[in-house]
Structure 1
Amino acid sequence: MGTRERRRPPAEPAVARQCDVINSPKLAGELQGANLGSLLPPRQIQLLEATFLSNEAANVRELISRALHLEAQRWAQDEAPQSLDGHCHSELAIDIIQIISQGQAKAESITLELGAQIRPVLLAELFMFLSSYERSFKEFLERYKHLRNYRANVIANINNCQLFRSSVEQKWQMCQALPSYLLAPLNEIKTRGFDVLLQNLFGDLKPLFRQFTLTHWAAPEQTLEEILEAVRAGLPEFSALHLGFREELMEIVHLHLVKEYIARLSKRRLVLKTAEQQQQLARHIQANAEAIRDFCTQHGSQASWLQDALPTLAEIIRLQDPNAIKISVATYATWYPDFSKGHLSAILAIKGNLSSSEARGIRSILDVSMGGQEPSKSLFSLIKVS
């Protein structure tokens, strides 16, 4: 990837440099000794402070707007992002935080009280910038898919989110609680970026998952190996993400694999009439579950909450005693509160030796175990069943 010189913020207007006169080494002693503030009435001091805050906010707004414009221009011109320690990198976050930090330091150099007054002003400017950044990034995603460096710039912008977040939290969190909405645009940029990076991969996996039902689960290990091989082939590109984002992205992949596997099980196209057949399928599911878990954790997924999703479904399919199945279902529903009667019915449909009354009794356990809980993370709410 190419490298480029780091952008420097444009020179500040004369109005914003007036405080430098007060801090001049030649004049500082005399001005401080004169105590000029006491020569002005409080109302005039307030007006001067308000004027300074307004001018400084306008100055910061202009500088960060210009920086974003230059960055968006670079994306549109298909300029490759820098590479820093093997990761796609952009200077945008550094430039913006520097501009805002200079505004904060300038106010504090006049009085600490003025520094406290400018802090919420600068946070408001930062939020407006991040909202503009999100809009510019979405426009880039929609208009420039054909560019050679499109995906590299997507990765650079995802990495930018970490730089913004860490810089903002480090600078301001000790001073005051950050508003919850402030960094929301960064979450949206990251989410949209992940969607773009994974769209092609998930599209390629769709026909592979379809093989489970087309072959009536005759060779599930072979099908899963093809799926994991397709994922493995797409992973090298993601090494350009920072580690934390690679782990997040791999958790999304992990969730997708588990979700799609359950979706294929829930198609109601497989009916096994004997306990032996059901136990054989359960062994296949258990082996596949271990393969998915091992693959995803080896590549960085921290999604431990998914580890029981497939093995417990295998257990429900394996068990023959309705009461034992009820216990497994009740436990399962505490782990995955969005597991519904519709999902359970689709799994129970595999058990061709289960009577209608037994299936109805097993489903009724969800009336008790669900208890109106809201899932902390979605799994079954992402799976449609007929």
Structure 2
Amino acid sequence: MLKMVTFFQGFPGQQSVPGTLNFAVSPQKPRSTSEAESETSMSEASSEDLMPSPEAPDGEEESAKKKEKKSKGLANMFSVFTKGKKKKKDQPRLSDLEVQPKPRPELDGPLPTVEELKEALEHGRLEVAWQVLALERQLEAAAAAGGMSNEELVWRQSKVEALYVLLCDQVLGVLRRPLEAAPERLSQALAVVSQEELEDRRASGGPLAAALEATRPRRWLQRWRGVVAEVAAERLDAQPATAPEGRSEAESRFLHMGRTMKEDLEVVVERLKPLFPDEFNVVRTYAESYHYHFASHLCALAQFELCERDTYLLLLWVQNLYPNDILNSPKLAQELQGVGLGSLLPPKQIRLLEAMFLSNEVTSVKQLMARALELESQRWTQDVAPQSLDGHCHSELAIDILQAQPRAGCYAMLTHCSLQIISQGQTKAENITSDVGMQIKQLLLVELAALLRSYQRAFDEFLEKSKLLRNYRVNIMANINNCLFFWTSVEQKWQISHDSLNRLLEPLKDLKAHGFDTLLQSLFLDLKPLFKKFTQTRWANPVETLEEIITTVSSSLPEFSELQDCFREELMETVHLHLVKEYIIRLCKRRLVLKTAEQQQQLARHILANADAIQGFCTENGSTATWLHRALPMIAEIIRLQDSSAIKIEVATYATWYPDFSKGHLNAILAIKGNLPSSEVRSIRNILDINTGVQEPPRPLFSLIKVT
């Protein structure tokens, strides 16, 4: 699998993402309109603004006293908030805290003025958040007690809300850059959000006075999530470093976004999770925000008409790198296990992109293979000698088309083609998913079969039209050697059934056979008059004639040393078959009739001696055609035997070894035995009518021999 390290490490000029989760580099959030308004309104406010007016009528004196008494109950609440300044290691859960307001103990002193609270908040003193909350509760109590005009309630509520606007900006500013804040300050900010969530729940229990505007729920936890979303967008949208040469803009963007998300989430897990209360779900919140922005970017990109490379890259990230190397990376897998982020693209869009990728890749592979074959065939017709690799004639065609890695000695012209064509296409598809890999495998097999047929046709045309070229024969051997790389690569990489493999490689078998026929054509022409000597001399000097034949063959063999060992052995097997076949043809010419048993036995001895010589020579030079070893000795035995029953047994045995041995061939052999009555000949011949259950011969011998 193409691993994330390919993208995350080692690019020239590509530095790691600066300041991982360094929220300080994020742009400063603009001051809200409400914050600006709060400064104007609070500049005229004091603590008296939130208390009953001194000019209240006598009838309202008792109401004012009640409100003063209720305000004393905030002292205990202040002490609770002050303790929150020193955050314990184990954060309390919101569900563990009481939702209803606590009893109000006596106040130790008056509340700070609005101006004092404003100044404290502007200096970042988050501990005064509890006094702001106290003012809000005091205002609610005053509204519930009555005795204050609606206009005054609304005016005083605006002062509280102005403080809350400033407090919210301060708290979210800390949480926007949590790693820059001192631990105590971060704890204060988190505690404020937690208390605000608690107050939202408390406020939902009863209605406010009609004059007061409904300001809760404030949903500061939700606002914090919005801040996280903004941070994720800022981090992922930051301009990446200049992409190395050869990488597209999309590739550079994906690399930056993937690396940033992975590294930032690792920081969240390692450094923020221990500091945030469980109710914040800090890992989930950051993960969902980064995922959402990443997915939005890819969805927008997928709407455009993408080039082939970017289509592949998009699928690679969506189907492989993102789920495997980011979400399931060692540091994140367990933390994100229950988050359920899902895919970056919807399934329908993924299927469409996969279809586009498969179509693009198959078309590209088809074109590149055709170009590689064209360049190779041009070399043949231009009489360019093939290279030599380990002493063998060598062609790069199969390697360029199939192999995963280039080999030594690439042809200069072929280096202009895309190397490892099919293997590259297969690997790219498998890097997306195994299912896409299976789909492209079937498509590429069809294209490979078409290429091999084209290869065979081009080679046959070369054999026919280029016989006078100087490098004609070495190029033939290079192409025969080429078959080995095709065979081994397909067998090892494609894992297809035996029948399918045979059908796929059938053109190569024909190519090799045509190549052997062409290479051996001149040798076999030289041997033809030598074999004729057997019948011309009536087998008078068979040993001397065979020695001349073997000498002729031996002198031609060094040329074939540039074939791969397996093909040299196969070629020698072809020579072995030719020698045996031509020898049998001479015996079947019906020009030799021996009437005495002694003459027949003498010929049998000559045949046995020649058979041993042929077998020894061919085996010594690499032939593995052991199936030919009985062909001549058993004919010699048929000629030697005089008893009709014994001859029948030998003929029946011979037919089991060579199922294509026919009555015509048997008649020609028995014609040598001039002392055999016609009735016995017919009786012996009828042995071949017995069905031995043997089907077509695995290798032809007598079917290559015509008898008259």
The alignment's TM-score, normalised by the length of structure 2, stands at: 0.50
Q: Counterpart in 1 of 2:401?
A: 96
Q: Counterpart in 2 of 1:368?
A: 690
Cα deviation for residue 64 of structure 1 reads 1.1
Q: How does 1:275-314 map to 2 (within 5 A)?
A: 275-314=597-636
Q: Counterpart in 2 of 1:169?
A: 491
Q: Secondary structure at the match of 2:307?
A: helix
Q: Counterpart in 2 of 1:339?
A: 661
Cα deviation for residue 180 of structure 1 reads 3.3
Query: Is the 1:334–1:369 contact (alpha carbons within 8 Å) kept by the matching residues of 2?
Result: no
Q: Counterpart in 2 of 1:48?
A: 353
Cα deviation for residue 67 of structure 1 reads 0.8
- State the alpha-carbon separation in 2 of the partners of residues 107 and 78 from structure 1: 38
Cα deviation for residue 122 of structure 1 reads 1.3
Q: How does 1:137-286 map to 2 (within 5 A)?
A: 137-173=459-495, 178-286=500-608
Cα deviation for residue 190 of structure 1 reads 0.7
Larger Rg: 2
Cα deviation for residue 135 of structure 1 reads 1.1
User: More deviation in 214-223 or 125-134?
Assistant: 125-134
Q: Amino acid of the residue matched to residue 166 of structure 1?
A: T
Q: Secondary structure at the match of 2:393?
A: strand
Q: Secondary structure at the match of 2:504?
A: coil
Per-residue deviation, residues 214-265 of structure 1 (Å, max 9, x unmatched): 0000000001011111111110111111111111111111111111101100
Per-residue deviation, residues 141-199 of structure 1 (Å, max 9, x unmatched): 11111100000000000000001110111111179984431111111111111111111
Cα deviation for residue 370 of structure 1 reads 4.8
Per-residue deviation, residues 7-52 of structure 1 (Å, max 9, x unmatched): xxxx99983321336668xxx6599669684542x33332221111
Gaps of 5+ in 2: 1-245, 249-305, 328-339, 403-419
Q: Secondary structure at the match of 1:183?
A: helix
Distance 1:176 1:269, change over 3 A: closer
- State the alpha-carbon separation in 2 of the partners of residues 190 and 117 from structure 1: 31
Q: Secondary structure at the match of 2:502?
A: coil
Q: Secondary structure at the match of 1:351?
A: coil
Query: Is the 1:12–1:59 contact (alpha carbons within 8 Å) kept by the matching residues of 2?
Result: no
Per-residue deviation, residues 332-352 of structure 1 (Å, max 9, x unmatched): 111111111111111111111
Q: Amino acid of the residue matched to residue 372 of structure 2?
A: A
- State the alpha-carbon separation in 1 of the partners of residues 341 and 365 from structure 2: 29
Give me the identity figure in percent.
65
Q: Counterpart in 2 of 1:20?
A: 313
Distance 1:178 1:343, change over 3 A: closer
Q: Which has the higher contact order (CA 8 A, sep 6+)?
A: 1
Q: How does 1:44-83 map to 2 (within 5 A)?
A: 44-83=349-388
Query: Is the 1:57–1:121 contact (alpha carbons within 8 Å) kept by the matching residues of 2?
Result: yes
Cα deviation for residue 303 of structure 1 reads 0.7
- State the alpha-carbon separation in 1 of the partners of residues 371 and 551 from structure 2: 45
- State the alpha-carbon separation in 2 of the partners of residues 129 and 228 from structure 1: 40
Query: Is the 1:134–1:189 contact (alpha carbons within 8 Å) kept by the matching residues of 2?
Result: yes
| RMSD after superposition | 2.4
User: More deviation in 170-179 or 256-265?
Assistant: 170-179
- State the alpha-carbon separation in 1 of the partners of residues 701 and 480 from structure 2: 24
Q: Counterpart in 1 of 2:454?
A: 132
- State the alpha-carbon separation in 2 of the partners of residues 179 and 379 from structure 1: 26
Cα deviation for residue 359 of structure 1 reads 1.2
Gaps of 5+ in 1: 1-10
- State the alpha-carbon separation in 2 of the partners of residues 142 and 91 from structure 1: 23
